[in-house]
Amino acid sequence: MTTVTRRVAPAPQSTTGIRFPQGFTWGTATAAYQIEGAASVDGRTPSIWDTYSRTPGRVRNGDTGDVATDHYHRWREDVAIMADLGVSAYRFSLSWPRVQPTGRGPAVEKGLDFYRALTDALLEKGIEPVVTLYHWDLPQELEDAGGWPERVTTDRFADYAALAARALGDRVKTWTTLNEPWCSAFLGYGSGVHAPGRTDPVAALRAAHHLNLAHGKAVQALRAELPSRARASITLNIHHVRALTDSAADLDAARRIDALANRVFTGPLLEGQYPQDLLQDTAGLTDWSFVQDGDTATIHQPLDFLGVNYYTPTLVSATTDEAAHGSDGHGMSEHSPWPGADQVAFHRPPGTTTAMGWAVDPSGLYDLLMRLKADHPAMPLMITENGAAFDDYVNPEGEVADPDRIAYLHGHLAAVQRAIVAGVDVRGYFLWSLLDNFEWGYGYSKRFGAVYVDYPTGKRIPKASARWYADVARTGTLPDRGGVNG
């Protein structure tokens, strides 16, 4: 998948008035630790994010997910909101320590009952449940035993996948094994800005491989337990990497980051092998002997679609400054999440930015989708996350106007629509996120939700973007740009 472009490509042209394909999935998405709360209720034990967020200095303002948006107790209200929005699917993750507290052994039935009730309520409203098995909440006991850098964790994950499939397979047709394994491996074990907060580049590479292997074993476990109609996938935050200039040094920097960000996963997942340039780039750190015979065949399982998360492009150049990784948009750390890429600098792309400091550039999504079509033409795609954080507030009328988010969504949906017209097989779009929530290391300081959450009271207030998105989902048509307003 090595291909790079210089600076920022032109924005996609408007495709106003062209309907999305019939049957296109319109969804929204959340993650368990970010919304559920009830951190020690009904048998749930700590995950690595419980431990990380409770460690002083790790999360902004000392925030934790102990209560979050209290979705565990307010899920009926949240399902009603989704029904009002008219979405056709809801992507949510299971909390591994709520279902299987120690990461091994039998399930806790109360934990499973929560997800059974949630899926039943979704189905009653005509909303398809789309389950993600892992959205970063490894049971702390498994981390204490070594976590993702250790091979045994892959077997624990396969057992958990089988357990979840047996419990929910009669209700859930669509399953995702992992969400953004790049973040789990390289932010969790490389830069330390995500749980568990370790800073070992070799451990990060080992974790990346074991996450890949866990995915393959989990797909095998799901296929063994689920009806033939069930669908299996994985979600990747594929970075759209651009070189700052056309110089050979900058293009090589982009190739190096592309290998670490993307091809470390797409290689074994979609092609059955790790890319040789990745192995060469990191040879000074490891000989990759943790990859055993048969591993890549296990990883290379047939998928029903590939989930794609996109927020902003990645702009890089060559440098001699080994501290330059700090501007990569993934959080500040003295340690790099890019093993073997110390002489790569990250730059903020030009243009407007979100509250995360991420450039708003829909052309990156279009280019990414076109690249995936070129590299893997037979693979259906699903946009499993796309959205933006802005500094939202409730006005004196009790409303939340968020025109910047509407403009962001319009631009990115136009990019998706343009890609579909160009022949890319995109099956659906999931807005991130349904609710304002715990935004990992940023705590509650960043709001991605289509629904505003007043954290002291838990009150939900749909933003203007929620109503706008509901109209798009209902009609299957993107309004003209003149209709974009707060």
Which residue numbers are catalytic?
180, 385
Distances (CA, A) of 338 to 97, 205, 226, 341, 361: 29, 10, 37, 6, 23
Handedness of CA 350, 353, 359, 363 (dihedral sign): negative
**CA 112 to mean position of chain CA atoms:** 23
Distance of CA 68 to the CA centre of its chain: 19
Write out the two tokens for 437.
């929530």
334 CB contacts (<8 Å, ≥6 apart)?
Answer: none
How far is it, in rounded angstroms, from Cα 65 to Cα 130? 22
Q: Reduce the DSSP state of residue 178 to 3 states and report it.
A: strand
Specify the DSSP class assigned to residue 42: T
Residue type, 209: H
Q: Please state the separation of Cα 211 from the chain's center in Å.
A: 14
Of 65, 204, 47, whose CA–CA distance to 134 is shortest? Answer: 47
Is-contact 43 111, C-beta < 8 A?
yes
Query: What would the two tokens of residue 239 be?
Result: 């970075």
- DSSP letter string, 238-290: ---EEESSSSHHHHHHHHHHHIIIIIHHHIIIIISS--HHHHHHTTTT---TT
Distances (CA, A) of 151 to 208, 227, 231, 236: 11, 29, 26, 21
Q: Is 16 helix (H, G, I), strand (E, B) or coil?
A: coil
